[in-house]
Structures are given as structure tokens and as C-alpha cells.
Amino acid sequence: MGKGREGRRLAPRTLGTVTFPVVGMVGGGQLARMTHEAGIPLGIRFKLLSDTAQDSAAQVAGEVVVGDYRDLDTLRRFAHGCDVITFDHEHVPTEHLRALEADGIPVRPGPDALVHAQDKGVMRARLAELGVPAPRNRIVRDPNDVAAFAREGAPGTAGGFPVVLKTVRGGYDGKGVWIVRGADDPNASEPFKAGVAVLAEEKVDFTRELAANVVRSPHGQAVAYPVVESIQVDGVCDTVIAPAPGLGEDAAVRAQELALRIAHELGVVGHLAVELFETADGGVLVNELAMRPHNSGHWSQDGAVTSQFANHVRAVLDLPLGDPRCRAPWTVMANVLGGDYPDMYAAYLHCMARDPQLKIHMYGKDVKPGRKVGHVNVYGDDLADVRERAAHAAGYLRGTVTE
């Protein structure tokens, strides 16, 4: 920690008398926007590779390159002048990231780690090697193979239908995921039309979904945020409660330790979200991994001493990490989804007057039904009150609550 100037891992580029590093962020979504925001107080400069000039982060970043992250030449040109490369999504081809590393450009998280968030098959195989608890799973080739997988469940287990099918790459927010309820279910053949590998998993009868968020630096320092409960609606995160209500201290520590061990074993640098199923016996199964700031950590912008975004910036620059503890007994994040009420700014008057402690975070996106366009954070001492305030604000902004 006290290494002084000699301990710096990056040599920042000089612009006049300014010697702060440039972080290259691949992806122009809301995660990039909020990560950029977290770097501003530190004087960190961001360079953005965005799909369009209208993307969420492109509206606010000082230096924006519009281009295709799937093109290696574009990535190389973008990386010129950056001290480190990081991401707001996991979709950059692994071989391109290896090429950037070969060019001498720090990539964080690196390709050997990130592939476990890019490819669910690779992730499941590696977690099995580590003995990490997960749903029963295997790669399947066709609908007949899906039926065979369903039959493999031993009596007294969760074997049989329904079965969850996932494309190993590219899925998010319920996309790329199908529930197959029987051998004749049309969903048994739908995933194979994408032309990519398909992973079959048992459908877990879980009691709720949790998330353990951790951040790890190149020199091995790591911090763990309180374990949260994540409430999904139609496959999309609706509400996050920090910390998870009713989760015992021992269970919470075990989940944090599991996430920290995964981050260490996979060599993650930056933020890692470990999405978990809590089972009836109080255990957990790992559902998904995300190696970037994550929706389940948005509460930390206002509810933690140091947000997930600020700690991700610190980690990729190998700076000492900040305190992840809660500022208040309870923080609730509620996503604001688009609906039939596009003029969300007009709703600010009511929401801010009703709750002066309300924190609103909007992403600069056009309002479309079901699209994540922002979120609200509310904190306080009484969980029921905090939940009501967050739900009311998110609903009023969306237009589903009118008073």
C-alpha cells in the first residue's frame, strides 16, 4: 500500500504538465458512462471506443472513437495513446485481446480471465475444476442431446425437464436463454439456429438470487462488497437490495470468500460479479460471471463508501482500492425501464419533491418499452420504507405510478 512513486505499475502519458493516465474503455454503454464519471474526481482521462456517437458514454466522454470493436486494426488504432484497456462488455474477441497484449498494451481484465465471462462453456468447465458449486450442466449438440441430458438427472435430484438452454456466447438480460419444458417443446431446437455452441443446465429450484461483487488489483489486493439480493422480472434485473435481507453473517462471508477465490483463481483484474442461486438448504450455486461493473453493484454509487465504478478504475490502474462497506443499513437500487411515458424529465419535479434523498441516474438513452434507461438509489434505516421509495420513484419515472 505505502509504495510511493516507486510502486506505480503504469507510466502515465504527459499532456503539458498533466501526468494522469488515459484509460481506454471499449464499449459505449451506461457502464462506461458511469465508470468515466467515477474517474473524473481522480483526474483520470478516458478514451472511448463506441459503436455510435450517440451511445450513452459517448455523450459525455471527452475523447470518442467510433468504430467496430470486432476489428483488430480498429482496436489497435484505438489503443494507441492509452495506458490501459478495459471494457463495459465482454464481447471483444479473445484473440484480439491477446494481440493487444502482444503489442505491449495492458488489458484488464486480461483475455485469459475474460474468456470465462465470454464463454459459458469455458466458465463451467473451469469452475468444475475448482470445485465451485454450480447447476448440473454440459454442452449439447441437438434436441435429442437435450432430451438425453434431461434423463441423466438421478432420482431425487433436479434431473429431468424443465432444462435451461444457453448459447455459450453473447447472451444477457434473458437473451440467449430458453426454458425447455419437454422433449417436444419448440425451445428445444431454437438455440441451435444461432450456429454457436449450446449449454444445457438443470433448472434450479432456488429460493432467491444473490450477487457477490468483488474487485481485484494486479498486485493481488481485493475487496468484497456486501452480498446483495437481486430480484428479476422477465429475465431482467428489477431491484437490488444491499445487503441481502435475512442472509446470515456466516453465509454472507462464505459467498464473499467464494467470489474472492474465483477472482484469484481466474486472475481477474477489475470488478467481478458472481451471480448466485440461493438454495433451500442455505447453500449457493454459481449462475453467471461478469468481469466489469454490474447492475447488481449500481447501489454502491450512493450506498457504499467507494462505488464499484471507482474501485474498477482504481483496480485497472493498480491503485489502492477503496472501502466497499455500506454507508447506511439499507440501500435499494431499482432499474428504470422504458414504457409508454417518454418524458421522464417532467417526472423529476414530483420525484425530487417527494423524496429529497432520492438519487437518480439516467443513461441518456431513448426511451423504449422494456429498455434500461436509468436507475434510482435510495438508502436509509428502514428496509420497507427504502423499498417503497425506490419502487415509487422508478415506477413514476416509467409512468406506471401516477401519484
pLDDT tens by residue, 67-121 = 999 999 999 999 999 999 999 999 999 999 999 999 999 999 999 999 999 999 9
Q: What is the reported pLDDT for 42?
A: 96
pLDDT, tens digit, 9 for 90 and up, residues 206-229: 999 999 999 999 999 999 999 999
Q: Are residues 353 and 227 in the same domain?
A: yes
Residues 15 and 76 in one domain: yes
Amino acid at 191: P
**What are the residue ranges of helices labelled H in 136-273?**
143-151, 249-266
Q: Which amino acid belongs to residue 29?
A: G
Domain boundary among 176, 202, 228: 202
State which residues form the domain around 180: 136-202
State the total domains in the chain.
Answer: 3
Instruction: Name the pLDDT band for 12 (thresholds 50, 70, 90).
Output: low
Is 148 inside a domain boundary? Answer: yes
pLDDT tens digits, one per residue of 106-134: 999 999 999 999 999 999 999 999 999 99
Residue 19 pLDDT level (bands cut at 50, 70, 90):
confident
pLDDT tens, position by position, 279-332:
999 999 999 999 999 999 999 999 999 999 999 999 999 999 999 999 999 999
Secondary structure (DSSP) of 23-61: EEEE--SHHHHHHHHHHGGGT-EEEEEESSTTSTGGGT-
Q: Are residues 341 and 237 in the same domain?
A: yes
Go through the chain and tell me how many residues it has. 403
Q: What is the pLDDT of residue 157?
A: 47
Query: Does 255 share its domain with 353?
Result: yes
Q: How many CB atoms lie within 10 A of CB 381?
A: 9
- Is residue 172's pLDDT more than 80? no
**What pLDDT is stored for residue 190 in this prediction?**
92
Whether residues 333 and 372 fall in one domain: yes
The pLDDT, as a whole number, for residue 176 is: 84
Mean pLDDT taken over the chain = 92
Is the pLDDT reported for residue 10 higher than 80? no
